[in-house]
C-alpha cells in the first residue's frame, strides 16, 4: 500500500463540476434519501412519460430491482435525437483506424441517419422488440450503430468480443437463442486480419447442432477479404442500408425493459448473461461519465476499451453519447505501428480525457519513456484506469510521465454487473492515493464483511459487498434468475457480493485487493478457472485439469494450468503447445495458458475436492507456506508438484 497522497490540484478543482463539499453533500443525500436524489438525477435523460416511482428494490428473497419503473424512454433517442436540434453537426464519434493514416468523424446527424437505417434493416428482416441480436464486430463505428439500432427498436443486443472463438460465440448465441447476427468480413488489428465472418459461420454451425438456427447474418464490408456466402441467410450491410429510409421512430420502452445482455465469467460453469435494462442503466452510465471524468461540453474523450466489454458499452457508447460527447473509437492496438501509438493519437485528435487499463500502462511503461515524451499530450486533462488493481509504480508513471504531473489519475473500480463506476475518485473532490480506487460514487454503499459475514467497521480487510441498489445494477442473469440470486445474494444474505477482496484504510479509502473467488483477471479480462479447465479436459489426452492465477508483471495475473494426462501419455513440450492452441481455439487468445505443468496427480481432500489454495501457492513459487496438508488424500502428490513447478524463481 502506497502511503503517498496527491491532493486535488488547484487548477483541477477550480474547473471541476464537483468539489469536496458538493461530493460530501450529494453523497449523504444519495444514501440517506435515494428516492429524492435519484428522482432528481433521473431527469438527466429525456422521458416520453415521466416516472412517478423512483426506487423499488429488494436484495432479499427473490431479489427484485426496479428503478423509474413507470417511466417510458428510449436509449437511442437519448443518445442521438435529443442532441440534434442544438448539436447535430457536433462529432459524435472520432474513428481512428488500425492504420494510422485512416480516420473519420461521424456527426450526430450522421449517427442518426446510420442508426435509423440499420434499425429499419433489422425491422425489415423481422427483428422485433425483445428479440436478441448478437453483435460480433471489430472496433468500427458500425458496432456502435448496431447497438443503438437495437436499442431504437427494443431489440436486446448481445455483443460478443471479436477475440472470442467460434465455440465461445456459439455458446453465447445458443444461451440467449439469438437468430440474428451482425458481423464483419474481417477485422484488422495491428495490421493483421481477424476472420470474423469465418468464425461466425463456424459458430452458426455449432449452434445449429444445439438446435438454434441463425436466420440472418448482416455483414459489414471492412477489408473486402474473401468470405464464404450463404445466399438467403447472409446480407451485405452496405446494400441493405442503401434501400431503407433514414428515419425510424424510437420505440417507447419501459424503464425496466432489457437493453442488453453481456456475457461474463464467473467462478463456476458457463459465462453468465448479465442483463441490463433501459432507464436506470442509462442514467447511471451518463451520470458517472460526466462526474467521474469531469466531462465538459466540447471535450474530446477517449476510452481505449473494446465494445465487446462493459467498459465499451458504458464508456464508449452509452454514457458519452447520452452526454452529447465526442467519443473516440480506436480500431487498433497500443503497440502498432509502435508503442507510441496512444500518445500520437492523443496529439492527433487533441484528446482531453483518456481512459485505459493498467495492463496497457504497464506494457507501455516497459517500452521506455521516449515513446511518450516524443509527443506533446498538452491537450490531456485527466487520466482514467479500469479493469484491475493498478500497482503504485504504474500509477506514478502514468501520472508523472504520461500526465506530466498535471492530470489526476482516476482509478475506477466497477464490474460488468454494476453497469458503471462504483468506487472512484472525483477529480475535483478526491485526494488521490496511488493504488486506491478511493471512495464510493453517489448512491453506493460499500461494506466489508469477514468470511462468516460479520460486518467490519473502520480500517479493515474483508470481502466487498454493496448493501443497497443503484440504478446501473444488473437486474438478472438472462434466462436464469435463480442463478442471479445464488451468485450474488446468497453468500452474504441480503447483500450484493462483488467477489472482490478489499481493504479500507483509516481515511475510509478502499483498496481492491483482487478476486476472492475462482475468477482470474488476465490483462483486465475476466476468466473463470472452470472455463479454462473445461477447455483443457475437452482435449482427448487430458484426464484432469486445475487452473489458478499467479502474479504476472504485465498481465496482472497469468494462467497456470496443472494437467493430468490419460494413462500412458507423456507430457512433452509439443503437447504443451498443442494444449495452448486448443484452449485458444475453445475460448479465444485471451485464455491462452501461460504455464502448463503436467502432474501425475492433483492435491485433493478425501472427499475429492481439489485444494486450490495449495496449487496457487506452488504457482506463486511460495510453497514454504503451504499450510495444513494433512487433510489431503495423498500428501505425496504435493512433493511432485513442487519439484516440477514451472515458476521456479
Q: Is 133 annotated as a binding residue?
A: no
Instruction: Give CA–CA dist 37/25, Å, rounded.
Output: 11
77 binds ligand WT7 (CB under 6 A): no
Choose, by CB under 6 A, the member of 113, 256, 388, 586 that binds ligand WT7.
388
- The three grid cell numbers given for residue 390, joined into one nine-digit string: 493498478
587 binds ligand WT7 (CB under 6 A): no
310 binds ligand WT7 (CB under 6 A): yes
- The three grid cell numbers given for residue 120, joined into one nine-digit string: 429499419
Instruction: Give CA–CA dist 464/450, Å, rounded.
Output: 9
Specify the residue, 412 or 473, whose C-beta has the smaller distance to ligand WT7. 412
444 binds ligand WT7 (CB under 6 A): no
Choose, by CB under 6 A, the member of 415, 486, 534, 644 that binds ligand WT7.
415
160 binds ligand WT7 (CB under 6 A): no
Specify the residue, 288 or 597, whose C-beta has the smaller distance to ligand WT7. 288
Specify the residue, 37 or 309, whose C-beta has the smaller distance to ligand WT7. 309
Q: What is the DSSP letter of 8?
A: P
- The three grid cell numbers given for residue 236, joined into one nine-digit string: 451485405
Please, which residues have CB within 8 angstroms of residue 454's CB and are 6 or more apart in sequence? none
437 binds ligand WT7 (CB under 6 A): yes
Q: Is 389 annotated as a binding residue?
A: yes
Choose, by CB under 6 A, the member of 515, 576, 617, 645 that binds ligand WT7.
515
Q: What does each C-alpha distance from 567 to 122, 467, 561, 646 come to in angstroms? A: 53, 50, 18, 22
Specify the residue, 218 or 316, whose C-beta has the smaller distance to ligand WT7. 316
Q: What is the DSSP string of 542-589?
A: EEEEEEEEEEETTTEEEEEEEEEEPTT----HHHHHHHHHHHHHHT-G
Measured from the Cβ of residue 623, the count of other Cβ atoms closer than 10 Å reads 15
Q: Is 515 annotated as a binding residue?
A: yes
258 binds ligand WT7 (CB under 6 A): no
Residue 417's SS3 state is helix
Choose, by CB under 6 A, the member of 145, 161, 399, 413 that binds ligand WT7.
413
556 binds ligand WT7 (CB under 6 A): no
Choose, by CB under 6 A, the member of 504, 526, 539, 617 that binds ligand WT7.
526
Q: What is the DSSP string of 606-636?
A: TTS-B-HHHHHHHHTT-GGG----TTBS-TH
Q: Residue 395 Cβ, how far from ligand WT7 at the closest point, in Å? A: 11
Choose, by CB under 6 A, the member of 142, 500, 517, 518 that binds ligand WT7.
500
Q: Residue 639 Cβ, how far from ligand WT7 at the closest point, in Å? A: 33
Q: Which residues pair with 81 in a beta bridge?
A: none
In the bound state, the residue with its beta carbon closest to ligand WT7 is 416
Choose, by CB under 6 A, the member of 137, 169, 285, 386 that binds ligand WT7.
386
Instruction: Give CA–CA dist 349/449, Å, rounded.
Output: 45
Q: Residue 361 Cβ, how far from ligand WT7 at the closest point, in Å? A: 12
The pairing of strands 556-565 and 542-552 is antiparallel
169 Cα distance to chain centroid: 17
- Region of 140-148, 161-169, 347-355, 495-503 interacting with ligand WT7 (CB under 6 A): 495-503
311 binds ligand WT7 (CB under 6 A): yes
- Region of 27-35, 143-151, 170-178, 405-413 interacting with ligand WT7 (CB under 6 A): 405-413
Specify the residue, 504 or 539, whose C-beta has the smaller distance to ligand WT7. 504
Q: Is 302 annotated as a binding residue?
A: no
Task: Kindly state the helix (H) or strand (E) to which residue 489 belongs, with its residue range.
Answer: helix 481-489
142 binds ligand WT7 (CB under 6 A): no
Q: Is 577 annotated as a binding residue?
A: no
512 binds ligand WT7 (CB under 6 A): yes
Please, which residues have CB within 8 angstroms of residue 159's CB and are 6 or more apart in sequence? 134, 135, 136, 137, 143, 147, 260, 262, 307, 308, 312, 313
414 binds ligand WT7 (CB under 6 A): yes
Q: Is 200 annotated as a binding residue?
A: no
Instruction: Give CA–CA dist 456/502, Å, rounded.
Output: 11
Instruction: Give CA–CA dist 541/566, Å, rounded.
Output: 5
**How do the residues of the chain divide into helix, strand and coil, expressed in percent and rounded to 5?**
35, 25, 40
351 binds ligand WT7 (CB under 6 A): no
Instruction: Give CA–CA dist 82/80, Å, rounded.
Output: 6
Q: What does residue 398 show for φ and ψ, rounded to 5 degrees?
A: -60, -45
Annotated binding site: 189-192, 311, 335, 387-389, 411-416, 500, 515, 523, 526, 537, 539, 542, 584
Annotated binding site for ATP: 387-389, 411-416, 500, 515, 526
Annotated binding site for CoA: 189-192, 311, 335, 523, 584
Tell me which residues touch ligand WT7 (CB under 6 A).
264, 310-311, 386-389, 411-416, 437, 498-500, 512, 515, 521, 526
Annotated binding site for Mg(2+): 537, 539, 542
Amino acid at each position: 500500500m502506497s502511503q503517498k497522497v496527491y491532493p486535488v490540484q488547484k487548477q483541477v478543482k477550480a474547473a471541476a463540476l464537483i468539489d469536496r463539499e458538493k461530493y460530501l453533500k450529494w453523497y449523504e443525500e444519495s444514501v440517506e434519501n435515494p428516492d429524492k436524489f435519484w428522482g432528481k438525477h433521473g431527469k438527466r435523460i429525456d422521458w416520453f412519460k415521466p416516472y412517478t416511482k423512483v426506487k423499488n428494490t429488494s436484495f432479499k428473497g427473490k431479489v427484485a430491482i426496479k428503478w423509474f419503473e413507470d417511466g417510458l424512454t428510449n436509449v437511442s433517442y437519448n443518445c442521438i435525437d435529443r442532441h440534434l436540434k442544438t448539436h447535430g453537426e457536433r462529432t459524435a464519434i472520432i474513428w481512428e483506424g488500425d492504420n494510422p493514416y485512416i480516420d473519420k468523424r461521424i456527426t450526430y446527424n450522421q449517427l442518426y441517419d446510420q442508426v435509423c437505417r440499420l434499425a429499419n434493416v433489422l425491422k425489415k428482416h423481422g427483428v422485433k422488440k425483445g428479440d436478441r441480436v448478437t453483435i460480433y464486430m471489430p472496433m468500427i463505428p458500425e458496432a456502435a450503430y448496431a447497438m443503438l439500432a437495437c436499442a431504437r427498436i427494443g431489440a436486446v443486443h448481445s455483443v460478443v468480443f471479436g477475440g472470442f472463438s467460434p465455440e465461445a460465440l456459439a455458446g453465447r448465441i445458443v444461451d440467449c437463442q439469438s437468430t440474428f447476427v451482425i458481423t464483419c468480413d474481417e477485422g484488422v488489428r495491428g495490421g493483421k486480419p481477424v476472420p470474423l465472418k469465418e468464425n461466425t459461420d463456424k459458430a452458426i454451425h455449432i449452434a445449429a447442432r444445439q438446435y438454434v438456427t441463425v436466420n440472418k447474418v448482416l455483414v459489414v464490408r471492412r477489408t473486402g477479404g474473401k468470405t464464404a456466402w450463404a445466399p438467403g441467410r447472409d446480407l451485405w450491410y452496405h446494400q441493405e442500408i442503401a434501400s431503407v429510409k433514414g428515419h425510424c421512430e424510437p420505440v417507447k420502452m419501459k424503464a425496466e425493459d432489457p437493453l442488453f445482455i453481456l456475457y461474463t465469467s464467473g467462478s463456476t460453469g458457463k459465462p453468465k448473461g448479465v442483463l441490463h435494462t433501459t432507464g436506470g442503466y442509462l442514467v447511471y452510465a451518463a451520470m458517472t461519465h460526466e462526474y467521474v471524468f469531469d466531462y465538459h461540453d466540447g471535450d474530446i474523450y477517449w476510452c481505449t476499451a473494446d465494445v465487446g466489454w462493459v467498459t465499451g458499452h458504458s464508456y464508449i457508447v452509452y454514457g458519452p453519447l447520452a452526454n452529447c460527447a465526442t467519443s473516440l473509437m480506436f480500431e487498433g492496438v497500443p503497440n502498432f505501428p509502435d508503442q507510441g501509438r496512444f500518445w500520437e493519437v492523443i496529439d492527433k485528435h487533441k484528446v482531453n480525457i483518456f481512459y485505459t487499463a493498467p495492463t496497457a500502462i504497464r506494457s507501455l511503461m516497459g517500452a521506455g519513456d521516449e515513446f511518450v515524451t516524443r509527443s506533446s499530450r498538452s491537450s490531456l486533462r485527466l487520466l482514467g484506469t479500469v479493469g484491475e488493481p493498478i500497482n503504485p509504480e504504474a500509477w506514478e508513471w502514468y501520472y508523472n510521465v504520461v500526465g506530466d504531473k498535471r492530470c489526476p489519475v482516476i482509478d475506477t473500480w466497477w464490474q460488468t454487473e454494476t453497469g458503471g463506476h462504483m468506487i472512484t475518485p472525483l477529480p475535483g473532490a478526491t485526494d488521490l492515493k496511488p493504488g486506491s480506487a478511493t471512495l464510493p460514487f453517489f448512491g453506493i454503499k460499500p461494506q466489508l464483511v469477514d468470511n462468516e459475514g460479520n460486518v467490519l467497521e473502520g480500517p479493515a480487510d474483508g470481502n466487498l459487498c454493496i448493501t443497497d441498489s443503484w440504478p446501473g445494477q444488473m437486474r438478472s442473469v438472462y434466462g436464469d434468475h435463480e442463478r442471479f440470486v445464488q451468485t450474488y445474494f446468497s453468500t452474504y444474505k441480503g447483500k450484493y457480493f462483488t467477489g472482490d477482496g478489499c481493504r479500507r484504510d483509516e481515511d475510509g479509502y478502499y483498496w481492491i485487493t483482487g478476486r476472492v473467488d475462482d475468477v482470474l483477471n488476465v490483462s483486465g479480462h475476466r476468466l473463470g478457472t472452470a472455463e479454462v479447465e473445461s477447455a483443457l479436459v475437452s482435449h482427448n489426452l487430458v484426464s484432469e485439469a486445475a487452473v489458478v492465477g499467479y502474479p504476472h508483471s504485465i498481465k496482472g495475473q497469468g494462467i497456470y494450468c496443472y494437467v493430468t494426462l490419460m494413462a500412458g501419455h507423456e507430457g512433452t513440450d509439443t503437447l504443451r503447445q498443442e494444449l495452448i492452441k486448443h484452449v485458444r481455439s475453445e475460448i479465444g487468445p485471451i485464455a491462452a495458458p501461460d504455464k502448463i505443468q503436467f502432474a501425475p496427480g492433483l492435491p485433493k481432500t478425501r472427499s475429492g475436492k481439489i485444494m486450490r489454495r495449495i496449487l496457487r501457492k506452488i504457482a506463486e513459487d511460495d510453497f514454504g507456506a503451504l499450510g495444513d496438508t494433512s487433510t489431503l488424500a495423498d500428501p505425496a502428490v504435493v512433493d511432485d508438484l513442487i519439484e516440477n513447478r514451472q515458476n521456479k524463481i
